[in-house]
Amino acid sequence: MADDSVPVSFEDGGATVEAVLVADGLRLRADEVPSMLRDGSITCCFERGADKDEGRFRLTFWYQNLRFQLIVDEAGRVLQRLKLDYGRMGSRQLTNR
């Protein structure tokens, strides 16, 4: 299900995501996110879609045993959120909203 409430913006070949969205995906407080990105506690990757995924972008964030991915369109609308807790892989804790 798409979520238009928290925008993702694009500038200078990168993306900016609201801290509250990343915090929700990684089970953190929004005010913690900027400093954790700066100090490397949270790492991230920004990928542009190709071929059938042209016009879509994947933003992936990692923190400890958690991975949070956003699939967004060119307007910055969230099309899909994926959360994975590697610490619970035995119980298959994959959430797709």
pLDDT tens for each residue of 21-62: 999 999 999 999 999 999 999 999 999 999 999 999 999 999
Flag whether 2 is in a domain: no
Flag whether 19 is in a domain: yes
Flag whether 20 is in a domain: yes
Confidence class for position 6, pLDDT limits 50, 70, 90: very low
Flag whether 73 is in a domain: yes
By C-alpha distance, which of 27, 7, 26, 25 is closest to 17? Answer: 7
Range of the domain at 82: 8-96
Number of domains in the chain: 1
pTM of the model: 0.81
Give me the amino acid identity at 32.
E
Flag whether 80 is in a domain: yes
Check residue 95 and give its pLDDT: 56
Flag whether 1 is in a domain: no
- Rounded to the nearest 5°, which phi and psi values hold at 2? -75, 155
Which residue matches tokens 């990928």?
47
Flag whether 27 is in a domain: yes
Which residue matches tokens 């994975």?
84
Flag whether 47 is in a domain: yes
